[in-house]
Structure 1
Amino acid sequence: MLAVSALVSGCGVIPGTSGGSSGPIVVMTWAPVGTDATNMPGMPAMAQAIGSYVNAQGGINGRKLKVLTCNERNDAVAVTACAQQASQAGAVAVVGSYSEEGSSFISALEADDIPYIGGYGITEDEYQSLMSFPINGGLPALLAGSGLQLAQTCKRVRLVRPDSITGDQFPIFLDQGLNAAGKKDVDDILTKDDATDYTPVATQAVGDDKHSTCVSAVLGDHTSTFFDALRRVGDEQPKVQLSSVIGSVQQSVIDASGGAKSPLEGARITSWYPPASDPKWNEMKSVVNKYAFGDNAIDVADPGVQTTWIAYQVFLKVVRGMGPKAKIDSESVRRAMNATTGLSTGGLTPDLGWTDKDLLGIPDHARMVNTKVVYQEVRDGRLVQYRPGFVDLTSTLRPSSDGLLNP
């Protein structure tokens, strides 16, 4: 697996040298921290740990990598300021980051020709801009994959999701998976993504509590609060089948809700990557243990942390491949990314590339190059892989020639 490099720094530092063949190579990682909605503190923390690790290994072709981190606060103004700081510091890319303010940060990066490598995949903008190089299928793949999986066992699917612009996408993609398997649209249940009590919503979702009904909750950090309410409504173990996507449910949520006695026992979870127990994550775990020991912000099972790890693998492999004498700036990095195909991430994703032949032709997501997901389930209180290998959602997400979804 690829080693990674970065010298840790914060926002607003003196710009580094990104051009020529000497001096540090500057990048930025941003994510929301300390907000009332979804937070991803593990992503900048992982970037910092990666930085210490790689610079200890000699850097990138002998050069340091200076990692700037920025709190985008789930705010359009704040993430635009992060992008401006990246530009002023001479950053050659924004790597492994999270923001729901896609139109704001993409516009800012496009203005300064800064590539966005390995974003979390939460916004449509990440799959449209020529500055963006996604590594996963984002919400479309997760939700369509979940719908396809649930269609095998559920007569009715109820989705509990945020009443927000981002949340409005969720039933669209889930329906694609359901419809591809010949099932009717999801029952869409809207709620706040920062509520402290979801009892009324949980009561609506459980309904008559039939085993043939599936309840899927995608509420980010507050998904665990919803499942706590669901346990109370369903007398500890509701009959409805439960499901979600990685990020809304991960190992820490299962542990906090009772482990093997959690209402999530048996739940089906759709993920972009193999579970954290897979040996393919061993190098990342060793980096965290050595360079971020005691940092509670980093959970190796967090898909944000995992996305940052993979994004840096991609970035470093591409930049190292440019050679020790290459001029490294945002434009040359973007060109190198556009010429990349067949890049291995050690099995954490399918091989990646962003050439014309790698683009999959997904409507409104022209930059999507990876629609594969992994099916997991909660078994004895642990997230494990439900079936081996990746499941390809390309035909599910791409319309057929008659304008209908492929079955």
Structure 2
Amino acid sequence: MTASRRRTARLADVVSVAACTALLAGCGAIPGTAGADKDTVTVMTWAPQGTEATNMPGMPAMAQAYARWVNSEGGVNGHRIRVLTCNDHNDTVRAARCAGRAKREGVVAVVGSYSQHGRSFMPALESAGIPYIGGYGVADQEFTSPYSYPVNGGLPALVAGNGRQLAAGSCSHVSLVRPDTTVGDQLPRLINAGLAAGGSGPVTDVRAPEDASAYSRQAHKALADAKTYAAARAGTALRSAAARGPCVTAVLGGRTDTFFDSFRQLRKDSPYVRTASVLGSVQQSLVDQSGGPRSPLEGAFATGWYPADGDARWKPMKRVIEEHAFGDNRVDGSDPGVQTTWIAYTVLRQVLKSMDEDESVTAKSVRRALDQGEPVGTGGLTPKLNWNYDNMLAARDFPRIVNTTVTYQRVRNGRLTPVHDGFVDVQKTLENGASES
């Protein structure tokens, strides 16, 4: 990390959060996790399920599989892991209940979770002193609260990185289709910062409802604007400008496939308009479901946090899924949510290993180890992570981003494949994007 990183503060401004429903029978159905005692470390993982918007059932399922694996190996420093799960239903009141239950159950951390509603859950965790390790990165509070320990750069890093990737991909103009929400309102300036770093921009901002069943109007606007801007800039026929043609990127979470389905119908006479998204909004399972090599996403640019699904560094996770998820089809190893939960629990395990065997494992001691301990390795899936004061980002809106790296991928022959080896650091792009707010 560079010396320009520093801790800053700001009032968080997102919305709501989670409802608590234990997915374990009596919170103890997983072998080796029943019955809390002094040798048991209790944690919680929450995520929305069964809603009309984004659903992340694989995250609590991955947490359960991870606990089975660790406990089958004898635990960590003699401690068995007990996982409680909660469904926030993408609802502010229910989300707050999840956090309240975490406090009542005395969990030492909330790990590998997804919720858009940081304003609801974070104050409850802060009042109880409970650390939030490895949130998915969609709530502002994940990147401002001193009780949050993110493992990736969240949506800000993905969108800023997507702008840089599209600029490097010679997009003459970019239309951004994004949710008409508080979180979505941040995205145009972040992608503009990325585009500007590559000498492109500004983006056309296309707002869309996050729970629509079709996006014909937004698809028409994105395509029309892309063609208009490309024609004006190229000064020649669009078809002759394919090497530096227009691009449309959609960041709509679980509704991104719905948008591209609408977009595909309009794009038939404009094949030179290229597509893009970020991992999470687009993932390998979506490419497979939409036709593989014949998918409308063939050739699409994609920006992710982690190495591509086929990378050898994912082998330990895939082995655990095979041996301890018991065929649970919620656990898709190519899903960035599942991957984030794996990394977050890897951080928890490393932190527990770093503590003295006779030290009491509490929320306070876990937080102290995170704040003061050595950098935490994740098997090369991220750079080593360290949340001490010197590693904070010089950005008012998200100082807690300590991992500012992304990966560039592209859909080729029906597979998401890396564009090049290694990570791309978007620290300066994030700081520039934040300074524009």
Q: TM-score range by the shorter chain?
A: over 0.9
* Counterpart for residue 4 of structure 1: none
What is the CA–CA distance in structure 2 between the aligned matches of 1:297 and 1:260, rounded to whole Å?
24
* Counterpart for residue 313 of structure 1: 346
Q: How much has 1:236 moved relative to structure 2?
A: 8.1
Structure 2 gaps, min length 5:
1-21, 29-33, 228-237
What is the CA–CA distance in structure 2 between the aligned matches of 1:103 and 1:367, rounded to whole Å?
16
Conservation of the 8 A alpha-carbon contact between 1:269 and 1:377 = yes
* Counterpart for residue 256 of structure 1: 289
Question: What whole-Å deviation, never above 9, does each CA across 1:151-181 have from its counterpart, x for those lacking one?
Answer: 2311211011111112112212111111223
What is the CA–CA distance in structure 2 between the aligned matches of 1:254 and 1:17, rounded to whole Å?
42
Shifted more, 376-385 versus 290-299: the winner is 290-299
Q: In the alignment, residue 238 of structure 1 is paired with which amino acid?
A: P
The TM-score, its normalising length taken from structure 2, stands at 0.86
What is the CA–CA distance in structure 2 between the aligned matches of 1:128 and 1:146, rounded to whole Å?
23
In the alignment, is residue 215 of structure 1 matched against residue 259 of structure 2?
no
What is the CA–CA distance in structure 2 between the aligned matches of 1:129 and 1:62, rounded to whole Å?
31
Instruction: Report 1:86-235 matches (<5 A).
Output: 86-152=102-168, 153-207=170-224, 209=227, 210=238, 211=242, 212-235=245-268
Q: How much has 1:11 moved relative to structure 2?
A: 8.6
In the alignment, is residue 266 of structure 1 matched against residue 280 of structure 2?
no
Instruction: Report 1:2-81 matches (<5 A).
Output: 10=24, 13=27, 17=36, 22-81=38-97
The TM-score, its normalising length taken from structure 1, stands at 0.92
* Counterpart for residue 235 of structure 2: none
Structure with greater proportional helix content: 2
Q: How much has 1:341 moved relative to structure 2?
A: 3.5
- Tell me, what secondary structure is at the counterpart of 1:374? strand
What is the CA–CA distance in structure 2 between the aligned matches of 1:364 and 1:372, rounded to whole Å?
17
Q: In the alignment, residue 166 of structure 2 is paired with which amino acid?
A: L
Conservation of the 8 A alpha-carbon contact between 2:395 and 2:430 = yes
Q: How much has 1:368 moved relative to structure 2?
A: 1.2
Question: What whole-Å deviation, never above 9, does each CA across 1:19-68 have from its counterpart, x for those lacking one?
Answer: xxx33110000000000000000000000000111100001111211100
What is the CA–CA distance in structure 2 between the aligned matches of 1:312 and 1:399, rounded to whole Å?
32
Q: In the alignment, residue 353 of structure 1 is paired with which amino acid?
A: N
What is the CA–CA distance in structure 1 between the aligned matches of 2:309 and 2:269, rounded to whole Å?
27
What is the CA–CA distance in structure 1 between the aligned matches of 2:212 and 2:427, rounded to whole Å?
35
What is the CA–CA distance in structure 1 between the aligned matches of 2:325 and 2:349, rounded to whole Å?
20
Q: Provide closer, same or farther for how the CA distance between residues 305 and 237 of structure 1 changes in structure 2, counting only shifts above 3 A.
A: farther
- Tell me, what secondary structure is at the counterpart of 2:264? helix
Q: In the alignment, residue 77 of structure 2 is paired with which amino acid?
A: N
Conservation of the 8 A alpha-carbon contact between 1:91 and 1:114 = yes
What is the CA–CA distance in structure 2 between the aligned matches of 1:200 and 1:397, rounded to whole Å?
31
Conservation of the 8 A alpha-carbon contact between 1:160 and 1:205 = yes
What is the CA–CA distance in structure 2 between the aligned matches of 1:16 and 1:88, rounded to whole Å?
15
Q: Provide closer, same or farther for how the CA distance between residues 13 and 346 of structure 1 changes in structure 2, counting only shifts above 3 A.
A: closer
What is the CA–CA distance in structure 1 between the aligned matches of 2:316 and 2:105, rounded to whole Å?
30
Conservation of the 8 A alpha-carbon contact between 1:160 and 1:190 = yes
In the alignment, is residue 343 of structure 1 matched against residue 359 of structure 2?
no
- Tell me, what secondary structure is at the counterpart of 1:188? strand
- Percent identity reads 50
Question: What whole-Å deviation, never above 9, does each CA across 1:208-260 have from its counterpart, x for those lacking one?
Answer: 65541110001111111111111111128732111100000001111121111
Cα RMSD (Å) of the superposition? 2.0
Q: In the alignment, residue 114 of structure 2 is paired with which amino acid?
A: Y
* Counterpart for residue 322 of structure 2: 289
Specify which of 416, 419, 429 is matched with residue 386 of structure 1.
Answer: 419
Structure 1 gaps, min length 5:
1-7
Q: Provide closer, same or farther for how the CA distance between residues 11 and 79 of structure 1 changes in structure 2, counting only shifts above 3 A.
A: farther
**Structure 1 stretches of 4+ moved >3 Å:** 8-18, 208-211
Q: In the alignment, residue 148 of structure 1 is paired with which amino acid?
A: R
Question: What whole-Å deviation, never above 9, does each CA across 1:284-334 have from its counterpart, x for those lacking one?
Answer: 111111111321111100000000000000011101210211111111111
Q: In the alignment, residue 133 of structure 2 is paired with which amino acid?
A: I
Q: In the alignment, residue 193 of structure 1 is paired with which amino acid?
A: E
- Tell me, what secondary structure is at the counterpart of 2:277? strand
What is the CA–CA distance in structure 1 between the aligned matches of 2:317 and 2:50, rounded to whole Å?
25
* Counterpart for residue 299 of structure 1: 332
Conservation of the 8 A alpha-carbon contact between 1:49 and 1:291 = yes
Q: In the alignment, residue 350 of structure 2 is paired with which amino acid?
A: K
Q: How much has 1:206 moved relative to structure 2?
A: 1.4
Q: Provide closer, same or farther for how the CA distance between residues 144 and 13 of structure 1 changes in structure 2, counting only shifts above 3 A.
A: same
* Counterpart for residue 365 of structure 1: 398
